[in-house]
Structure 1
Amino acid sequence: MSLTAAVWIVILCALVMANLPFLLERRLAPWPWGPKGGALPGLVRWGLGLVFLAGLALWSWGTLTLVGGAFAGGGATTALFLLKLLASLLVAGLLLALPGRLGGEAGNRKSFFDRLLEVLVGYVLVGTLGFALELNLGNAFPQRWEFYAVTLALFLVLGYPGFVWRYMMRRRPR
């Protein structure tokens, strides 16, 4: 995989993940807090939250191992690498789709704080994918806090269209 293709994959994933919490009303992460009288008791919600964070850590480790350790040099290995990348993105999509299915809170609205935390989860997912692609290219560099501050700011800027759609657009009552 070329550097240009890897950069565009990360930018497109970042654009989608930065806007997704603002465009969807269902939860992308099972936070322990939630509406009173929800379908799940509090202790179960805390357990689901911990399982989600463990799944996120497992996905990150698996992506770094599979995608970062893969070599995309020849024709057959390139197809295998793209298959591993697609499988990693599919598992991430399933990881984000599961909390909305398990929560049973379809009629409740997410707060801004929930959306902000989901944006941060998306930042971690895209950052892990970007680091795995950088490992695949063979030139992973150590990063300091300045790198993460700048990339988080860029990620929030990419999420601005979703923020405008959710909070600043006037909607006519039906």
Structure 2
Amino acid sequence: MSSSASVWLVLLCAVVLANLPFFNERVFAVGPARAHKGFAVRLLELLLYTALTIGVGRWLEGRNSQIADQGWQFYAVVGCVMLTLAFPGFVWRYLRRRH
């Protein structure tokens, strides 16, 4: 897989996983369905999906080249990017009008 395809795959993974906690009521998308999943559970899912996205990125980086060491700044930026990508799901879950 080329590096360009790897970048697009990680971005697609990030977009899907950032919105997944807000678009379903299952715990971690495979657990039992709940009538109402709390906001704290959704944030925990988002945190774990962020770690999964970082893991996929590091795995793809290791396949294409050497894995570069990352400082705390990298993880802070990834967290902010995941929060930004999760905004459509947050709006859909909490800010849209229900009829």
TM-score tier, shorter chain, comes to over 0.9
Where 2:68 maps in the other structure, the secondary structure is: coil
Q: Distance in 2 between matches of 1:14 and 1:170?
A: 27
Per-residue displacement from partner, 1:65-99 (whole Å, max 9, x unpaired)? xxxxxxxxxxxxxxxxxxxxxxxxxxxxxxx52x2
Unpaired segments of 5 or more residues in structure 2?
A: none
Aligned residues: 99
Where 1:171 maps in the other structure, the secondary structure is: coil
Greater radius of gyration (CA): 1
Q: Distance in 2 between matches of 1:4 and 1:129?
A: 15
Q: Which residue is 2:23 aligned to?
A: 23
Q: Which residue is 2:79 aligned to?
A: 152
Per-residue displacement from partner, 1:104-157 (whole Å, max 9, x unpaired)? xx3420000000000011001111000000011113110000000001100110
Q: Distance in 2 between matches of 1:119 and 1:166?
A: 14
Q: Does 1:131 align with 2:25?
A: no
Percentage of pairs with the same residue: 46
Q: Which residue is 1:122 aligned to?
A: 49
Q: Distance in 2 between matches of 1:5 and 1:165?
A: 29
Which 4+ residue blocks in structure 1 deviate beyond 2 angstroms? none
Q: Which residue is 1:170 aligned to?
A: 97
Unpaired segments of 5 or more residues in structure 1?
A: 29-95, 101-105
Q: Distance in 2 between matches of 1:110 and 1:158?
A: 20
Taking structure 1 as the reference length, what is the TM-score of the superposition? Answer: 0.55
**CA RMSD, Structure 1 to Structure 2 (Å):** 1.1
User: Higher mean Cα deviation, 106-115 or 9-18?
Assistant: 106-115
